[in-house]
Amino acid sequence: MEFLLWVRGPAFNLALTVFVLGMTVRLLEIFLLGRRPNYAEPRGPEFGPGMKTVLNRFAVDPGVFSRAPFNVVVGYLWHIGFLACLFLFIPHIELAHGTFGLSWPGLPNPLVDALAAVTLVSLVAVLIHRNRHPVMRYLTTREDTLVWIATFLPVLTGYLAYHRAINPYPVALGLHILSVELLMVLFPFTQLTHAFTVFIARWYNGAAFGRKGVQS
């Protein structure tokens, strides 16, 4: 119980501070550095095409799919599963509601439960694939492994806590929250930042094409 109170209180404060402060610094650094001035006369607007690219890059590129179907399918599977568990599980929505007053509809618990199971299996499959594929194994760094662990643990501990597989429950819930705090602390310092920067990169890409008057 003391452990649960610690992870819900001081530890959460610490993790949240590192996460918000770290991400703000990183994003501001990117924005303030700016882009090289382009003196060519623009042939089209930047904002609209930029936003369009943010969205249409969600569609899978046929070339990439034919070369690496496993990465595309399983990658999508666990990303969707992870985000659904994070944002559409009722207790998680209650967290946003209780702290910022924001609320949105959630999914029924059994559905989130199934998605969590799919996410866990997919993440394990991703790890096995990464280790068995010679090129991917060669490219894998320690940071990749660390990020995989930091992503896997919240889903695993959440799944175990939901099924009350660890007794007593305050320990199970405490471990789940602690694993999320680990993810939050690692977020600004690892490739996890892609959760934010991917959209910035897409926008810049789309905006550059828009300026040149070509389709992105």
Partner 1 sequence: MADTDTLGESLRRLGVTRRGFLKFCAATASMMALPPGAAAAMAAALEKARRPSVIWLSFQECTGCTESLTRSDAPSLEGLIFNAISLDYHHTLQAAAGSAAEAAREQAMKESWGKYLLVVDGSIPLANPGYSTIAGISNVEMLKETAQGAAAIVAVGTCAAFGGLPKARPNPTGAVSVSDLITDKPIINVSGCPPIGAVITGVLAQYLTFGQLPDLDAYRRPRAFYGQSIHDRCYRRPFYDKGLFAESFDDEGAKKGWCLYRLGCKGPMTYNACATLRWNQGTSWPVEAGHPCLGCSEPSFWDAGGFYKALSVPTAEVARTAGYALAAGVAIGGVAGMVGQSIKTTAATGHQKVTVDELEA
Region near partner 1 per CB under 8 A, out of 57-65, 94-102, 143-151, 204-212 = 94-102
- Tokens representing 75 are 């990658």
CB 147 within 8 A of CB 191: yes
Quickly count: other Cβ atoms within 10 Å of residue 48's Cβ: 12
Residues in the chain: 216
CB 211 within 8 A of CB 43: yes
Nearer to partner 1, 61 or 94 (CB): 94
Q: Is 41 in the site for partner 1 (CB under 8 A)?
A: no
CB 206 within 8 A of CB 49: yes
Q: Is 92 in the site for partner 1 (CB under 8 A)?
A: yes
Site string for partner 1, 111-130 (x = CB under 8 A): xx------------------
Cis peptide upstream of residue 170 (ω within 30 degrees of 0)? no
Q: Enumerate residues 134-193 that contact partner 1 by CB under 8 A.
A: 164, 168-170, 173, 177
With b for 16 or more beta-carbon neighbours within 10 A and e for fewer, the 166-178 pattern comes to: beeebebbbbbbb
Query: Which one of residues 10, 42, 44, 213 is an interface residue with partner 1 (CB under 8 A)?
Result: 10
Cα R_g (the chain), whole angstroms: 20
Region near partner 1 per CB under 8 A, out of 62-70, 102-110, 114-122, 136-144 = 102-110
CB of 113 vs partner 1, minimal distance in Å: 9
CB of 202 vs partner 1, minimal distance in Å: 22
Furthest CA-CA distance within the chain: 66
Q: Is 20 in the site for partner 1 (CB under 8 A)?
A: yes
CB of 32 vs partner 1, minimal distance in Å: 3
Nearer to partner 1, 156 or 184 (CB): 184
Residues 6+ positions from 8 with CB-CB distance below 8 Å: 174, 177
Query: Which one of residues 68, 106, 133, 197 is an interface residue with partner 1 (CB under 8 A)?
Result: 106
Rounded to 5 degrees, what are φ and ψ at 52? Answer: -65, -40
Instruction: Give the residues lining the site for partner 1 (CB under 8 A).
Output: 1-2, 4-5, 8-10, 12-13, 16-29, 31-34, 90-92, 94-95, 97-100, 106-112, 164, 168-170, 173, 177
